[in-house]
Chain A
Amino acid sequence: MTSASSSQAADATDNTASEIAPGPDWFLIAALVAVAAAVTRVLLFTPIELRQGLAQKIFYIHVPAAIVGMYFSVIPMAIVSGIYLWLKDERLDRIAESLAEVGLIFMSVVLITGPFWGKPIWGTFWQWDARLTSTLFLWFVLVGYLVLRGAIEQAEARARLSAIVGILGGLLVPFIHLTVYMFTTLHPMPIVLTPEGPKQNLSPEMTSTFLSSLAAFMLLMLALTRNRFRWATLRDAQQHIEDDR
């Protein structure tokens, strides 16, 4: 590449960068404010459950994190990975990479908060039952996905192989959902993701708190994924320029 064209490319990256990162990420800030508001509502303005006491309030962070992590991060990651294998567009690979990482964060929250709810209610932090074990397995698949990405330097091979792992990870989600129906588990059956919805099993105050918490965590997931995707775009643009030199 000539010095003139490399200078143009660098300027282009500079422009891309200023478009990608113009200042504070207001979407992320709004999502954090929404999460803070939802947590305040949970802790101060939602009734305490009669039988489980304060520990039941872990529900408002554990269940939204599981729904957002599995159904809105891992499943879309698998779908986007599948489309990548078809279209070979590197933007799709970056979206899948971002969703996997953010999904891993949410699944970590699920696996940490679950045992602290289980201890006072079940009498144990952990049980090797089908729901808990398969969720832990999904967590390891997501970790493996990110480790695989870090281990392959060639971009096309990295995207292709990680897309396959991503699809395999996504296939676990329906299985995890069904474990409570298929096996005898300590984990309760869904009380939110049922045909009747949460209103069937929760009081109106608890339902509205749960839904606001779910909305806040959805916003947080979207904001984190957007931020992560923009960072990956800038990183790849710089990598292309450095490769051309």
Chain B
Amino acid sequence: MRLLSLDAAGTLTIIEQDSSRGRSGLVKDSANAARPRADSANAAVTAQPIMRTPENGGYLKIAYGAAAVIYISYLLLLRRRWTAVRARQEKNTLRSRR
């Protein structure tokens, strides 16, 4: 079961809870939220703070990579169009000289 917790400082925390163990293990302290509460009676409860996760860098890479793909694809499309329009222009010029 997943629960959301929002503390007074505005930090949102996702709490993974083993539903068979009840609600007693809810983690309210976001500073401790990143690690499993091994000291708790409810050892299966783990919490993941949404913010400050090191893998956030992965999302950065994907977002920048996707944006680069979009811009570069458009540049290639423009280049292809110019090549086509120049070929057409050459054809027109040759035709008019004949």
Contacts and interface: CB of A to CB of B under 8 A. Distances in A.
A211 B93 CA distance: 47
A231 B81 contact: yes
A128 to B, nearest CB: 18
Interface stretch (A53-61, A143-151, A155-163): A53-61
A65 B67 contact: yes
A242 interface: yes
Chain A interface, >50% SS class: helix
A55 B64 CA distance: 11
B54 to A, nearest CB: 7
Interface-centre pick from B12, B14, B85 (highest chain A CB count, 10 A)? B85
Interface residues of B, number: 34
B51 A51 contact: yes
B41 interface: no
Given A53-B51, A58-B59, A7 B71 contact: no
A14 interface: yes
A49 to B, nearest CB: 9
Contact of B63 (A10, A13, A53, A112): A112
A52 B51 contact: yes
B43 interface: no
Contacts of A14: 89, 93
Contact of B71 (A109, A123, A235): A109
Given A10-B96, A55-B56, A231-B85, A116 B63 contact: yes
Interface centre among A113, A121, A238 (most CB of B within 10 A): A113
B82 A113 contact: no
A117 B78 CA distance: 29
Contacts of B59: 54-55, 58, 116-117, 119-120
Interface string B2-40: 001000000110100000000000000000000000000
Contacts of A117: 59, 63
Contacts of B62: 116
B57 A231 contact: no
Contact of B53 (A62, A65, A120): A120
A44 B54 CA distance: 17
Contacts of A116: 59-60, 62-63, 66
Interface in A90-132: 105, 108-109, 112-113, 116-117, 119-123
Given A7-B97, A105-B70, A58 B54 contact: no
B63 A62 contact: yes
Contacts of B12: 123
Contacts of A61: 63-64, 67
A123 B56 contact: no
Interface string B53-87: 11111011011101100110010001001100110
Contact of A54 (B11, B60, B85, B88): B60
Given A52-B56, A122-B50, 9 more contacts: A13-B93, A21-B86, A52-B51, A53-B51, A58-B59, A112-B70, A120-B50, A123-B14, A231-B78
